[in-house]
Structure 1
Amino acid sequence: MTTRITLTTGRRGFPGRTGLALAALATAAVTLTSACTSGGLRTTASGQPAAVVPVRQGGSIVIGAEQEPDCADWISTCAGSIWGTYIMDVPTMPRAFVTRKSGDGWAPVPSDVLAGEPTVTTAGNRQQVTYRINPAAVWSDKAPITSEDLKYTVEQVRDGKDVLDKTGYDHVTAVGTPDPKTAVVTFDSPYANWRALFSDTFGIFPSHLLAGKDRDAVMKDGYRFSGGPWQIESWKRGVSVTLVPNPNYWGGKPKLDKVTFQFTADTAAAFQAFKSGQLDALYPTPQLDSVDQITGGLPGANSAVDPASGNLEALWMNNGKFPFDSTAFRQAVSYAIDRKAIVTRLYGALGVTAPAQSFLTPIIAQYGGDDFSRYQLDLGKVTSLMQGAGWAKGADGIWAKNGQRAEFGIASLAGNKRRELTEQILQQQLKTAGFELTIANTTAAELFSKVTPPGDFQLGLWTLVDTFPQPSLGTSFSTGAIPAPANGNSGLNYSRISSPDLDRALTTLNSSLDQNARMQASKEADRLLARDAASLPIDAVPNVLL
């Protein structure tokens, strides 16, 4: 499973772009080939279940988008926002596997790009995966999607600079191309999450259009080529992105003639635009005022609310920067926060009152535990931990040590009312416990392009989103995923978490082909994250589609 971070509903690690987080949005806005269902509660303004009606043929719609992506070069570190994935990446870039509902859970299944399930063979420490590409699969210029495209994608990610996340691709030693529709990918060791390649963080890139060129220059401001059902008609910076059907798509055809994603960063303003009819659909971050109106019913509107999402809001502690470079300090801060009070205040009206006790989101909860349940409000433990680490309260009631006060800043998304409220609650709770919190919010582009990659923050508040139904904690928490010159400043471990014990568990999680062993390794990694209070999960953010 992957992730990318986002300030609305991100990706794990903040890789991840494909299925789970998109379940509500993609069906209605990206695929637009069937009636909308998300597995959650779908109601009318009266609060009654909504009738499923046939999707009309033709016409256009306008959808509110909470973030404008910084760029459209999906391999680059500038592509960290999940909204770029939602509105341009997934609709246009073909993927080997897509995420689909399977019983009560989710599963990766071969997409229309493939001719069937790939073949996997292992011999000693070597693993090979053979992909057979659908003979009908073509790009929008009618050029075939070929094995050279898979090879090009691997080389761009594995060997490139300024790469968002190399997870998995860094284990590929070769990509064989015995014929245009067959690719043989060889790994240096068994890699359990191989289905995520060409599927989760990155799709498949067209070698015939990009090889030998500056990929970033070609793609960053938008591109016209497509291997999916839609193609980008226009990207008006600061205003909107418009998609139109790809006339040469070989799979299920879009129903609509045009979809426009209108950038509406202010959730309250987006909600008003929806109610006034300026927006036909909205996938909002739940805010207190909108939650009240959703539960009360919206005239003429349908709503879908799914609490069992892939979205995890967390406090991200920079383990490499004072004062969070101390385990005792991180633990003390964790005991100073009443997470249940925060969650109930934010989402109680939607039936979400329990804090998250794992870094595994609800859609892959079977791989996690409840080890963070130890962190409940306990001022006695705060005092014990802080005094044990040599801190003492000053006359102002704030802890101090060696002339340094226990004050730190938190970074999140400016203008997001829910996060601003969360920060205000945290300020009050932490002050009572002897900590001083200052708020330093900024734009999504600034936060994920300039602040988090180099670690220029102390505490952060954003959402990790699992979008592929496999655990991939290593993407966010392994030492090798810390952006640094040694890995070309690639990786999504923005919290600078580094633990030999944790790395060993994550190695087993990545490499073992035994499902039980992977399950135990994932739970052990989750336990170790809680032991060290590496960061603190807050809640599972519900998916809401209007």
Structure 2
Amino acid sequence: MMVREKRVTVYLLILALTLTILPGCSPSNDGDTVGVAKPGKPVAGGNLVIGVSEEPASLNPFLPDGTSMATKLVTANILWGLLVVTPSLTHAPRIAETVPTIENGLVTQNPFTVTYRIKEEAVWSDGEPITSWDVQFTWQNIMDPKRNVADRAGYDKIETIQTPDAKTVKIIFKEPYMHYKELFSTTYPILPKHLLNGRSYDDLLSRMITFASGPYRFKKWTKGESITITRNENFWDKEPYIDQVIFKFASKSDSMFSGFRDGKLDMVYAPSDIKFIERLITLEAKEVRIEPGLVWEHVGFNLKNAYLGEENVRRAIAHALDRKKIAKEATGGEKVLQSVVMPQQDRYYVSSWRTYDYNLDKSRNYLQKAGFSRGANGIYEKDGKPLKLEISTTAGNKVRERTVDIIKEDLTRAGIQAEVKNAAEETFFNTKLPGGDFEIGVWAWLAGDEPKLQHLFASDMAPPAGFNYYHYNDGFFTDVVKRLSGTVNQKERAAVYRIAQDKLSDDAIVIPLYQHPHVIAYDGRVYGVRDNVSFEGPFWNLQECWIAK
């Protein structure tokens, strides 16, 4: 048995640790891992058992209940798109021959047109070619008003799709659209027209996927237990080494840990719970990779609340929060997120929230600017009414519950009366947030390869149109972020993002807290792992992975 020397890279577990981002352990253009023993020659065969914390609600990535990471982990190697987001958060070809850009002439203006050439060798699992007509068919299905598609953003910007031949796709937009690389790639994969045309398939795809364009195909789903995918014998690209991959559901961290420790699980996509991470790194002959992910925790304000509609109250709360303490309790380190754009998106990132240091004097000054005075009991009041606010998050999530407790302590210290009213996860996300039934909320968003500020903060994106749960209604900000979708030049986009971040920070619409650690661990016999913190997920390249005998 080939076993590598134990190596643990710890992010945010030791206070003084320098932030380390690992690109992965398979030789690639994305970088090489330092300190890992060189593997031998890859060998084919074997089954890989992966522990995941959540069972998908659906396997259909086009439906609202199929948009979660739980679904993506399974489908990422079954259904491919034209492009893929790499660990460096850049796009690379998958079914397409190349990434269209203005520089290579595949993106042109007047009208804004994106041209793809599908790889000649690309075929479906039944051997039929993947064609331009499949791309056109996919778009038509996304835009079909009879279908309950999760999100049509971007696809609704398309005027038409032309198919000059079987392998050429010309996507003509109504207007310039900067996120064109995500379409038919990150958001939705391509569907086979020859198999689905004229059929009602949404329910079927929710339970099983009967076709594949990637290295694996669906085999079986044992509800409450596991999903198995198996090698696609007609895969047209690099043949995968591993025969079968079993995604084993382990909702409880104790069962995931014991399964991994005892060798029943070869790999785990671990929860970002510090106590679980501390246990993981004690295991011998295991690789543990921990890096800052794209899931970002934050405090969100409902501006419909009379008190929170006042910007100086929000600024007061921002200065009242000991964000370093919150980050340390959640991640083990004091690294505070200072923007709604992730540091990995360095071409756009600005640390705009750095101005909100933990400072009770500043907090109280802002309350006074908002017209509040401190009462005899230490609580600020206006017109004889105390400043009282509710804080809520997902009940049962120990990290978030502790965060809310710290916030309550901080607000009380600043002179704001706070009451905790948590709710079950399903109620919190499906009812309270979209229904505006909260005052101060604590939850997380998953960032993409490009920031999606319009969907979260534009004035016309309040539910049900979008995810502006804050009910932020600022015309200037909305005009600014709407420019982004039509701004293709990266330098111009960066300038717009800077303005948007500074505006959100100045208005204190949200208070970023920290990035969730992204944790994967695997047995020393497993090679080829290249972690990916984007929505592609850590198993995006399973065809490159192999198990030493």
Q: Equivalent residue for 2:447? A: 466
Alignment check: 8 A CA contact 2:85 2:186 kept: no
Q: Equivalent residue for 2:9? A: none
Choose 495-504 or 524-533, whichever is displaced more: 495-504
Q: Equivalent residue for 2:509? A: 534
2:402 & 2:119 partners in 1: Cα distance? 50
CA positional deviation for 1:128: 0.8
Q: Equivalent residue for 1:291? A: 277
Structure 2 counterpart of 1:257, from 228, 243, 247: 243
CA positional deviation for 1:323: 5.2
Query: TM-score by structure 1 length?
Result: 0.81
Alignment check: 8 A CA contact 1:77 1:449 kept: no
Choose 199-208 or 183-192, whichever is displaced more: 199-208
2:374 & 2:220 partners in 1: Cα distance? 57
CA positional deviation for 1:544: 1.9
Q: Following superposition of structure 1 onto structure 2, how do residues 221-236 of structure 1 map, counting pairs within 5 Å?
A: 221-236=207-222
2:324 & 2:418 partners in 1: Cα distance? 21
CA positional deviation for 1:303: 1.2
CA positional deviation for 1:446: 5.2
Q: Equivalent residue for 2:300? A: 316
SS of aligned partner of 1:507? helix
CA positional deviation for 1:41: 7.2
CA positional deviation for 1:54: 4.6
CA positional deviation for 1:291: 3.2
Q: Equivalent residue for 1:272? A: 258
CA positional deviation for 1:289: 1.7
1:315 counterpart letter in structure 2? V
2:140 & 2:303 partners in 1: Cα distance? 32
Q: Following superposition of structure 1 onto structure 2, how do residues 184-203 of structure 1 map, counting pairs within 5 Å?
A: 184-203=170-189
Q: Equivalent residue for 1:479? A: 459
1:273 & 1:335 partners in 2: Cα distance? 43
CA positional deviation for 1:121: 4.4
Structure 1 counterpart of 2:164, from 165, 173, 178: 178
Q: Equivalent residue for 1:138? A: 123
1:543 & 1:287 partners in 2: Cα distance? 10
- The Cα offsets for residues 230-284 of structure 1, whole Å up to 9 and x where unpaired, read as 2222223332222112222211222212212222223344223322333221122
Alignment check: 8 A CA contact 1:306 1:543 kept: yes
1:71 & 1:312 partners in 2: Cα distance? 24
2:490 counterpart letter in structure 1? Q
2:300 & 2:53 partners in 1: Cα distance? 21
Q: Equivalent residue for 1:386? A: 367
1:406 and 2:388 correspond: yes
Query: RMSD of aligned C-alpha atoms?
Result: 3.1
Alignment check: 8 A CA contact 1:75 1:202 kept: yes
SS of aligned partner of 1:91? coil
Unaligned runs of 5+ in 2: 1-21, 522-549
2:307 & 2:200 partners in 1: Cα distance? 41
CA positional deviation for 1:398: 5.0
Structure 2 counterpart of 1:107, from 58, 67, 90: 90
Structure 1 counterpart of 2:287, from 299, 302, 310: 302
Q: Equivalent residue for 1:248? A: 234
Query: TM-score by structure 2 length?
Result: 0.81
1:84 and 2:74 correspond: no
Q: Equivalent residue for 1:74? A: 61
SS of aligned partner of 2:468? coil
TM-aligned CA distance change 1:455 to 1:51, over 3 Å: farther
CA positional deviation for 1:151: 1.9
CA positional deviation for 1:338: 0.8
1:158 & 1:393 partners in 2: Cα distance? 56
Structure ranking higher in helix proportion: 1
